Structure 1
Amino acid sequence: MTVRKVVFGFGSPTGYDDVPELLRTVEQADRDGLDHFSLPDHPYLGERLDAYAAIGFVLGRTRHIAGIANVSNLPTRPAPMLARTVTTLSALSGGRVVLGMGAGGLWDRIADLGVDRLSPGEAVDAFEEAIVLIRSLGGGGAPVTHRGRHYRIDAIEPAPVAVPPVWTGSVGRKSLAATGRVADGWIPGHAADWLSERYRESRPVIDAAAVAVGRDPGEIRTVFNLPGRITDRPSAAPRDRAGRWVGGSVGQWAEELTGAVLEHGASGFTLFPSGDEAPEVTVGRWAGEVVPAVREAVAKEYGAAPGSP
C-alpha cells in the first residue's frame, strides 16, 4: 500500500488591513516547511482581498509553500478562465498551487455580482462539468471543443502544463458523489472533523462514487479545516459541547492528529488560528512543534516517510 503524504497548512487572514500580517505569516510558514496556505474566495465582499490575485502575489515571494483558494467561488470564475489562471500559477510557481473548487453557496450575494442564479442541482451539475472541462484544458494535446449544459468552448488549445490537484468543498450527496468521480481531494464542510457525523456519513458517498467509475477511493485525500488554538498546557476540554475538536496542548494536538491519520484516513490539515495569540505565533507553533510531531509519529508507524503527495 502506498501511504499518501500528509499535508499541513494554515488559513491566512484576508482583509486589506491584514496584508502585512498575511505576508509575514506565509513567508514564515514557507521557511518553516508548511505545505500550503489557504485563502477564502468571496468576491462580493469589498473588504476582502481577491483570492487569486493574493495567491499569485504571495507565491512570487515564497519558494516552497503552495496556495489554495478554499474554495474557489466557481459561479463568479468561469471554468475556462479558471483553468487559465491555475495553469499559469502552476507554471510560474513550479507547481505550487492546488485548485479548490466549490459549487457556490451564498447565492443572494453571488447574484449581486450579476451572475445568473442556479438551483442547487444546477450548481452541482455545473461544478462537476467545470472540473472535467478544466482538466481538459491542461497538459497539452489537441484543441478542446466542449458542448456541455453549462459551458461551451470551441477549439481552445490546452495549456502545456497539467492542471493542479483539485480539492472540493462538497457538502450534499450529489456534490460528494461528483467529488468521488472527478476530484483529487475533499475538504469537509462546516469544519467537520474525523469524529463528526458529517464526516462518517459523507466520506462513504465519495468512496462509493469513486468505485462506481473504476477509481481507487484512496486516491482522494481528505483535508480537514481546523479552527483551533494551541495552548501551553493540556486542555481539559479539547472538544466543544458538540464534540468538535477545538485544540489543546502540542501533545494533545499531536496525539489527536496522528490518530486522525492512522485510524480515520485523514491526509491533510489546515489550521485556522483562533484565540488571543497573533496568527503568526500560532502558525509558528503549528509548524515548529505540532506538525513535526505528527509527521514523526506517522512515519514511525509506517516504518518510513509517507509517499507521494
Structure 2
Amino acid sequence: MPPHQPLFGTGVSTALGEVEESLRLAVRADRQGLDLITVSDHPYYAARLDAYAQLGVVLGRTGRVSGLVSVTNLPSRPAPMLARTVTSLSALTGGRLVLGMGAGGLWDDIARLGVPRLGPGAAVRALEEAITLVRLLCGGGGAVTFEGEFYEVRDLEPAPVEAPPVWTGSVGPRSLEVTGRVADGWIPGHAADWLSPRYRESRPLIDEAAVGAGRDPRDVATVFNLPGVITDAPLAAPRDREGRWRGGSVAQWVEELTGAVLEFGAAGFVHFRTDDTPAEVTLGRWAEEIAPAVREAVLAART
C-alpha cells in the first residue's frame, strides 16, 4: 500500500439495551483520537438498533471520528436509497463516512424481512451493481439512467456530494473479485488476520481482479477486524495453537501491529473487546497507548 498512517477504530454494540454505553464509548473514542467507529447491520433482529440511525447519532455527537456500517446489509437497503443515505450523512458530518458493503449472508433471516432471496452468484452480481450505482448517484453531474439486472433508475439526479470510500466484507471468490474491481478497501471476514489462511488465500484474488480491471492492487486497502485482550502483563503466547491472535500486553500489540503494517501492508485495525476488562480501560489502552505507538513506529520506519 502507499505509505500512510494506519487507521485505528473500535466497534460499538448495536444492542438496544446498551445504547447509553455505546454512545459514551463512541464519544470517548473520538476524544481519544481514534479514526473510525463501526457498527454492525442486522435489521432482522428486534433487539438491535438500526445501523444507520445509530451511526447518525454517533456522528452527531462526535467531531472527528469517521463512521462505518460493517457491513451494510445490502439486500435490505436498495442501492438508490442507500446512496441518498450516505450522501446525506456525508454532507451532515463533513465527509466522516466510509461505506461498508456486503452481499448478504444470513439469508434465512434476511428473507424474513420480505426481501426476495438471492442465490450466491446473484447476490454477488447485485453487490457489484449496487456499488456502481451508488457511485453514479454521488458527486453531482447529469441525470443518471441505469438499467441493470437488479436496479433500474431513470433520470435520477445525483446528489452534489462526493461518494465515500467503499469497503467490502467479501469472503467468497466471486465477491473478492468484485472487491478488486470496484472497491476501495476490504475487511477480511471471520476476524481473519494477516497470518491467517483466509487472508493468504483471499488477498491474491483481490489483487488479480484489480490488475485485470486496470487498477493498482495497492489502491484496495485491507483493514482488519481484530478481537483480542489487552493485558497488564505480557502473555507467554499471544497466538493460540492454530496461530490465531489472542492479544497480550500493550508492547506485544504494538510489535504485532507494526509488523502487520510494514510487512503485510495492513491499512488499519478495528478492535473488539473479548474479555470482562471494563470497556473504558480497554478503549483507553487501545486509543491512547497502542495506536499512537504503532503510528510512531511506522512513521519512524518509513522516514
Q: State the TM-score bracket (shorter-chain normalisation).
A: over 0.9
Using structure 1 for the length normalisation, give the TM-score: 0.97
Deviations 1:78-131 (A, max 9, x none): 000001101110000001010000000000000000000000000000000000
User: Aligned AA for 2:124?
Assistant: V
Q: Which residue of structure 1 lines up, in the alignment, with residue 102 of structure 2?
A: 102
5 Å-filtered alignment, 1:162-201, equals: 162-201=162-201
- Deviation, 1:221, is 0.4
Distance (Å, rounded) in 1 between the aligned partners of 2:223 and 2:277: 24
1:295 and 2:295 equivalent?
yes
5 Å-filtered alignment, 1:89-238, equals: 89-238=89-238
Q: Which residue of structure 2 lines up, in the alignment, with residue 43 of structure 1?
A: 43
User: Aligned AA for 2:218?
Assistant: G
Deviations 1:60-94 (A, max 9, x none): 11000011000000000000000110111000000
- Deviation, 1:241, is 2.6
Distance (Å, rounded) in 2 between the aligned partners of 1:73 and 1:291: 29
Counterpart secondary structure, 2:228: strand
How many percent of aligned residue pairs carry the same amino acid? Answer: 65
User: Aligned AA for 1:4?
Assistant: H
Deviations 1:237-270 (A, max 9, x none): 2112321112100000000000000001100100
Q: Which residue of structure 1 lines up, in the alignment, with residue 243 of structure 2?
A: 243
- Deviation, 1:230, is 0.3
- Deviation, 1:284, is 1.2
Q: Which moved more, 1:235-244 or 1:33-42?
A: 235-244
> Unaligned stretches of 5+ in structure 1?
304-309
User: Aligned AA for 1:119?
Assistant: G
Distance (Å, rounded) in 2 between the aligned partners of 1:176 and 1:280: 35
- Deviation, 1:161, is 0.6
Q: How many residues end up aligned between the 2 structures?
A: 303
C-alpha contact 2:6 2:268 (8 A) present in aligned 1: yes
User: Aligned AA for 1:94?
Assistant: G
- Deviation, 1:274, is 1.2
Distance (Å, rounded) in 2 between the aligned partners of 1:240 and 1:47: 33
Q: Which residue of structure 2 lines up, in the alignment, with residue 306 of structure 1?
A: none
C-alpha contact 1:143 1:156 (8 A) present in aligned 2: yes
Q: Which residue of structure 2 lines up, in the alignment, with residue 265 of structure 1?
A: 265
C-alpha contact 1:21 1:280 (8 A) present in aligned 2: no
C-alpha contact 1:24 1:280 (8 A) present in aligned 2: no
Distance (Å, rounded) in 2 between the aligned partners of 1:273 and 1:93: 27
Counterpart secondary structure, 2:128: helix
**4+ runs of 1 displaced by more than 4 Å?**
none
User: Aligned AA for 1:25?
Assistant: L
User: Aligned AA for 2:196?
Assistant: S
5 Å-filtered alignment, 1:24-103, equals: 24-103=24-103
- Deviation, 1:2, is 3.8
Q: Which residue of structure 2 lines up, in the alignment, with residue 254 of structure 1?
A: 254
Superposed CA RMSD:
0.9
Distance (Å, rounded) in 2 between the aligned partners of 1:42 and 1:242: 30
Deviations 1:13-64 (A, max 9, x none): 1111111111111101101110000100000011111100000011011000
Deviations 1:124-176 (A, max 9, x none): 00000000110000000001000000000011000101110000000001000
C-alpha contact 1:176 1:205 (8 A) present in aligned 2: yes
C-alpha contact 1:188 1:199 (8 A) present in aligned 2: yes
User: Aligned AA for 1:165?
Assistant: P
Deviations 1:217-249 (A, max 9, x none): 111100000111100000112112321112100
Counterpart secondary structure, 2:300: helix
Using structure 2 for the length normalisation, give the TM-score: 0.99
